[in-house]
Amino acid sequence: MSEPEILRFENVSLRFEDTPALDQVSFRMIPGETVIIYGAAGSGKTTLLKTALGLLKPDSGRIYVFGEDVTNFTEPQWFPLRARMGILFQEGGLFDSMTIAENVAYPLLNSVAARASNQRGEVEEKVRQALRFVDLEQTLDKFPSELSGGMRRRVGIARAIVTEPRLVLYDSPTAGLDPITAYTIISLILKERDTLNASALLVTHRFQDGHLMAKFRYNPSSGQIEAASQNGGNAARTRFFVMNQGRLVFEGSLAELAAAKDPYVKKFAK
Amino acid sequence: MRNVFRSPHYGDDILIQMDVIGFGSLLIVMLIGLFSGLIMGQQMARALRTYGAIGQIGYVVSVALIRELGPVLVALLVAGRNASGIASELGSMKVTEQIDAMRALGTDPIQKLVTPRLIATAVTLPLLTIIADFLGLVGGYIIAHFQFAVPFSQYWVPAYQNLAYADVAEGTVKPFAFAIIIALVGCFYGMRTTGGTEGVGRATTRAVVVSSIWIFVTTYFIGAIFINMR
């Protein structure tokens, strides 16, 4: 345990009535690492993300975020921690009564941490910067309902990264999108990972998403996605998990995933 | 309730809610107030004239309106308009995971959503009640003067002089209590909404029904307390 941890689960279990949503889940993430979680619908991927964010409380086990034991944290204790994390919800999770600018500015203006620190200056510039990052600066005054599904996810990414969090959680960012838009979204996540060096926990059921994250990198000078070298960089620090019925049934690299023999795990390897 | 005093305070949200709940209800509250006074004046004047007590019309209208009718009618109106509005707004946010998003973005939804609505209702409902009471008295005067030829001073002097401090206190405590009921019931059912859009509909209906029932139960008990204090 030489490197500092950013997230650790120790035998975490959670049941919804009689159904196990998480079953003895254990793993750890270090700064700069990308973890891709594959799994069928209902396998517990989103539950894992929500538990990592403190939106759900585990029945048993222990959770550590940024080295702090948060298992028994109360809601107010979570607020400063969540300010250091970013989340992209499956459908974007945007506030439909707010404009895009207000949505992206939300964590800067409304979080308990932002209010306590009273650092509300430069909000407009930060919002523009985040929207420029996802190439949507022209949508500042629009409402979420005026945008397409892919654009809403891109705004969601802008909102997730506007506070420059150390850990970003992505809940099925490409679900329900056409292949071109899905590629755009993953490219933005790659760009975010390689420019801000944040750790990422990405839940998906599409093999291509994980493959891109593990094999490609963002080149800041060309502004393009290109094949990553095998020797280092964030792409090489990508690990893969596979979940089935609340259990973590696989943990390893892309090569190990490709070589997996388990019939369930193999389904996510191509 | 302790959230009212806990930081952070979302002052801008309180002002927005005061505008929605208070100013948004103003016109309809004025109409209800005026017409309840007109109706009371019409019904009471006939009965009082039978006993030769038409001169007491101002007193009867003011006591009935300020103690009971004004607060209850305004509260029922605001419950129908705003408890439902609060429940449906928060319910929609709940079922579309916007409340989870709020928590995930480091905001306390109780502080951000519930407290501003509670404070805004607690401030605006007593003010709306005062406006409705005054217009009700004006309505009673219109009937008394134009239909039953009651002079100005014969209506307004008893209406003012016979009012005890306890009557005014009762008429102020009630809207404050009703405001807490309306805001908390609306927020409670909104924040607990499950079951998609159908669930939002259920939450809205329950918020109106439950807050209306509690308004009647509470007005009885507050009335009983004031009667025993006299």
CA distance A5 to A1: 8
Q: Which has more pLDDT, B121 or B11? A: B121
H-assigned helices in chain B: 11-17, 24-50, 57-64, 70-78, 84-95, 98-104, 109, 115-148, 152-161, 165-191, 196-229
* Residue A27: pLDDT over 90: yes
Chain B closest CA to A169's CA: distance in Å? 10
Q: Mean per-residue pLDDT for A138-145? A: 92
CA distance A45 to A35: 12
Q: Is-contact A89 A173, C-beta < 8 A?
A: no
| Most confident of the ranges A38-52, A72-86, B125-139 | B125-139
Per CB-CB distance under 8 Å, the chain A contacts of B8 are 112, 115-116
Q: Mean per-residue pLDDT for A149-168? A: 89
Cα-only R_g, chain B: 20
* Residue A230: pLDDT over 90: no
Specify the length of chain A in residues.
270
CA distance A100 to A139: 7
CB proximity under 8 Å: A 180-209 to B: none
Per CB-CB distance under 8 Å, the chain A contacts of B88 are none
Degrees (nearest 5) of the Cα angle A230, A234, A236? 30
Q: Mean per-residue pLDDT for A214-228? A: 84
The DSSP bridge pattern shows strands A85-88 and A167-171 to be parallel
Q: Mean per-residue pLDDT for B193-220? A: 94
Assign A184 a pLDDT band (cuts: 50, 70, 90): confident
Assign B6 a pLDDT band (cuts: 50, 70, 90): low
CA distance A193 to A34: 8
Taking the Cβ of residue A17 and every Cβ of chain B, the question of whether any pair is shorter than 8 Å is answered with no
Task: Name the residue among A91, A203, A204 with its Cα closest to residue A153.
Answer: A91
Of A55, A95, A114, the CB nearest to B104: A55
Element (H, E) at A203: strand A199-204
Q: What is the pLDDT of residues A50-93, one digit of tens each?
A: 999 999 999 999 999 998 999 999 988 898 888 889 899 887 78
Element (H, E) at A7: strand A7-16
Query: For residue A3, what pLDDT is reported?
Result: 59
CA distance B121 to B115: 10
Query: For residue A246, what pLDDT is reported?
Result: 92
Q: Mean per-residue pLDDT for B6-27? A: 87
CA distance A22 to A14: 5
Query: For residue A1, what pLDDT is reported?
Result: 46
Degrees (nearest 5) of the Cα angle A77, A87, A63? 45
CA-based torsion, A231, A214, A151, A106: positive or negative: negative
Assign B1 a pLDDT band (cuts: 50, 70, 90): low
Backbone φ and ψ for B228, nearest 5 degrees, come out as -70, -25
Q: List A63's β-bridge partners, or say none.
A: A9
Mean pLDDT for all residues in chain B: 91
Sequence letter at residue A258:
A
* Residue A120: pLDDT over 60: no
Q: Mean per-residue pLDDT for A173-192? A: 86
* Residue B65: pLDDT over 50: yes
Would you give the end-to-end CA distance of chain B in angstroms?
Answer: 30
Share of chain B above pLDDT 70, in %: 97
CA-based torsion, B52, B55, B60, B63: positive or negative: negative
Assign A144 a pLDDT band (cuts: 50, 70, 90): very high
Query: For residue A118, what pLDDT is reported?
Result: 57
- ipTM for this model: 0.80
Task: Name the residue among B159, B151, B144, B166 with its Cα closest to residue B224.
Answer: B166
What's the DSSP call for residue B81? I
CA distance A56 to B13: 27
CA distance A129 to A158: 9
Edge-to-edge strands, sheet with A247-252: A85-88, A167-171, A199-204, A34-39, A238-244, A247-252
Query: For residue A117, what pLDDT is reported?
Result: 64
Taking the Cβ of residue A235 and every Cβ of chain B, the question of whether any pair is shorter than 8 Å is answered with no
Sequence letter at residue B230:
R
CA distances from residue A204 to A158, A169, A238, A242 in whole angstroms, order as listed: 19, 11, 14, 10
Query: For residue A121, what pLDDT is reported?
Result: 60
Q: Mean per-residue pLDDT for B190-198? A: 91
* Residue A232: pLDDT over 70: no
Place of tokens 């539950």: A47
Share of chain A above pLDDT 70, in %: 92
Determine, for residues B98 and A110 on separate chains, whether the beta-carbon distance falls below 8 Å: no
Query: For residue B3, what pLDDT is reported?
Result: 64
Q: Mean per-residue pLDDT for B8-37? A: 91
Q: Write the DSSP string, A109-137.
A: HHSHHHHHHT--TTHHHHHHHHHHHTT-G
Query: For residue A220, what pLDDT is reported?
Result: 82
For residue A99, the tally of other CB atoms under 10 A from its CB is 16
Sequence letter at residue A146:
E
Query: For residue A215, what pLDDT is reported?
Result: 87
Sequence letter at residue B92:
S
Query: For residue A195, what pLDDT is reported?
Result: 84
B interface test, pick of A79, A81, A159, A167 with most B CB neighbours within 10 Å: A79
Q: List A13's β-bridge partners, or say none.
A: A60
B interface test, pick of A70, A88, A111, A164 with most B CB neighbours within 10 Å: A111
* Residue B11: pLDDT over 90: no
Sequence letter at residue B53:
A
| Interface size, chain A vs chain B, as Cβ–Cβ contacts under 8 Å | 67
Peptide bond into B158 cis (omega under 30): no
* Residue A116: pLDDT over 70: no
Residue A269 token pair: 């390897």
CA-based torsion, A114, A120, A123, A125: positive or negative: negative
- Helices B57-64 and B115-148 cross at an angle (nearest 10°) of 170
Would you give the end-to-end CA distance of chain A in angstroms?
Answer: 33
Query: For residue B5, what pLDDT is reported?
Result: 63
Chain B closest CA to A139's CA: distance in Å? 20
Half-sphere exposure of B182 (CA within 13 A, CB side): 35
CA distances from residue B2 to B106, B110, B115 in whole angstroms, order as listed: 19, 11, 9
